[in-house]
Amino acid sequence: MKKLISLLAVAMMLLAACCNTQQNTETMSSLKQSDIDAAIKAIWAKDSQVNTDLVERGVNSAAKLWTAQDGTAEEFVAFCAENYKTTEAERNELFQTIQRNIETIYGRFNQISINLKMPLHVVGDKPYTAIDEMFGAIDPFAHFSDDMFASKIAFIVALNFPSYTLDEKNELGKTWTRTEWAYARLGDLFGSRIPGDANQAFADQLSTADNYISNYNIMMGRLRNDAGEQLFADNMALITHWGLRDELKSNYANAYGRGLEKQRMIYQIMTRIIDQSIPAKVISNADFTWNPYTNEVKDAEGNVVDNTREADVRYQMLYNIYKSAVAMDKYCPAYPTYIQRSFDQQMEVTDKEIEEMFVKFISSPEVAQVAEIIKARLGRDLEPFDIWYDGFKVRSAISEDELSAKTRALYPNPAALKADLPNIMQRLGFTKEKADEVCSKVEVDPSLGAGHAWGAMATYDISRLRTRIAADGMDYKGYNIAVHEFGHNVEQTITMYDVDNYMMCGVPSTAFTEALAFVFQKRDLPLLGYVTNDAHASAYQMLDIFWGSYEIMGVSLVDIYTWRWLYENPNATMPQLKEAIIRNAQEIWNKYYAPIFGHENSTILAVYSHMIDSPLYLPNYPYGHIVESQLEAQFKGKVVGEEVCRIYPIGKLTPNLWMQHAVGQSVSVDPLLKEVAEAVKVLK
């Protein structure tokens, strides 16, 4: 399911370190080296004992952001001399003041965003309107950077708390104190100077794409097979792709019914969404029946009607986001593409490293070994949709109807789920005191979309858990999503309240909050009271993590390759973009998946909605699975709640340094592959 990208993460991505390379002369001033040298000398004149490296780094950071509108070269020199803090006591006092005010601003902006988007995200008394969409698209953070530079606050930060490259953080950060880390994270905030209109344009496109995806439902009760039969419940409406995928997964427990037939129909729907041959009339519309195989559409009287396909809206959404991202590139000389900002800056790992890690994983010999186990358990050859095989989970042997009956009884409304959250935490090993503390800062809302977790950005605010809750209660799909999102909420709260300073709050990247969400989600059945006595349960759990990672790593590569293609083809038409995405999906499938599944040219890896409304977010999921597997190994023989409370307050280090604190080793696929190899031996 989709997780809403943290606004703090977005703000950091838009504002962060772009000041470590050559100036962009189109947007930055042309201060001469002699001007920079003069500023350094002016600071030395105040205190000859200052740290030379810090002075030079700070002055150069500020100089690369100084434009002619900010003042003359002489005024720059005077500004540096006046505002550089030469003693550690002065520097720390300045840091505390800035940190306090950043929290105030971010916290209030976040509350504004939540309230403006409430009609778009949460079920209300009436459908949201066009004016709601317009308000929801407003980004309170859009002009934050402009304001900070206009007031000179951003220059004071750059001067006294310069940013560091990822390599420098990984190396120097090994010996940094917590205070030095906090200074570096503050320095990340003002490394670029993206204009407010560019920020707002990007936010507008993300909001438009999010609304498109959130309102893209397939009315499953209106589907018909070639025999004219209805396979799904009347009122079942599934959001693409999450709802379709989860319904497909649920039918592995329906092997003796029509589960396989349902899965094949869902797969057919997905292929039509990808190639945009889906009739426009059947999207979020229950007035027509639709045969996804023949693409025939009929009205209420059974008459065949026009089945004109949806225009290439799906790919237009992605292209619009790309264009708005490119408009920011010139303002970020250190990370001059959205790809670099998403990986080097935001994930703090390069796209090349991610690609190498994922390719190593999906081409490993363990894939074929696990596939043979799945094939034997299914009693048939694999089909492309078996990338979502769900049979390693305990729930695969339990009817979803049974599970939904239980969750509806337990959670008839959001208030019931809210009341049970402390119990969920205690079942995971958190103390009652910690559970009550965390859950007092989490609110539950019925979601219009698939569900998400929206964290607080200040210690005076709360986090939001959103999942689908129907009038007759929360079904199992909604519950499963809710447990996942609650994992995010727990992380969001602990890393806001238990980290020693605001600038270090959070996690290294979204992969690390996804990891904890996965840890929660896989325990959803024990939380409902279902306990397995299977001696091989841990081995099956490892295979479940492995197969889920195998699936989404391929999807992530499609996302990465698509963005590389976009940068190589900036003037692409929508048919060309669609063709490129489909080609990428097929090439990755044929190389890494077709040898396992025996089917070539499947496009299924292009179905994920994240590609459209949260571009380049997908790699966080498999990266999160890698982190998850290392955390799960750490949790063995220990209490999960206690370990979470030990690990997550470390806050926002770089990924490898965080992982070394958590489990004693860097992020790597090797431990997971080793665990899977052992699990295969056990099960054979």
Give the span between the Cα atoms of 240 and 607, in whole angstroms: 8
Give the span between the Cα atoms of 616 and 190, in whole angstroms: 23
**Cross-strand pairs, 470:** 473
Amino acid at 529: G
Give the span between the Cα atoms of 117 and 100, in whole angstroms: 26
Of the candidates 202, 168, 518, the residue with the CA atom closest to the CA atom of residue 341: 202
Of the candidates 182, 196, 161, the residue with the CA atom closest to the CA atom of residue 11: 196
Answer for the pair 563, 616: CB distance below 8 angstroms, yes or no.
yes
Give the span between the Cα atoms of 338 and 324, in whole angstroms: 10
Answer for the pair 137, 202: CB distance below 8 angstroms, yes or no.
no
pTM over cut 0.75: yes
Low-confidence ranges of the chain (pLDDT < 70): 1-30, 255-256, 394-397
**Looking at residue 476, what is its pLDDT?**
93
Give residue-wise pLDDT tens across range 202-261: 989 999 999 999 899 999 999 999 999 999 999 999 999 999 999 999 999 876 679 999
**Looking at residue 208, what is its pLDDT?**
94
Residues with Cβ within 8 Å of residue 27, at least 6 apart in sequence:
67, 193, 330, 331
Angle subtended by helix axes 52-63 and 73-83, to nearest 10: 140
E-strand stretches of 215-324: 217-219, 237-239, 289-291, 296-298, 304-305
Give, as one character, the DSSP assignment of residue 283: B
- Using CA atoms of 172, 178, 181, 183 in order, give the dihedral in degrees to the nearest 10: -130
**Looking at residue 394, what is its pLDDT?**
61
Give the span between the Cα atoms of 260 and 171, in whole angstroms: 52
Rounded to the nearest 5 degrees, what angle is found at the Cα of 279, between the Cα atoms of 301 and 240?
Answer: 110
**Looking at residue 7, what is its pLDDT?**
39
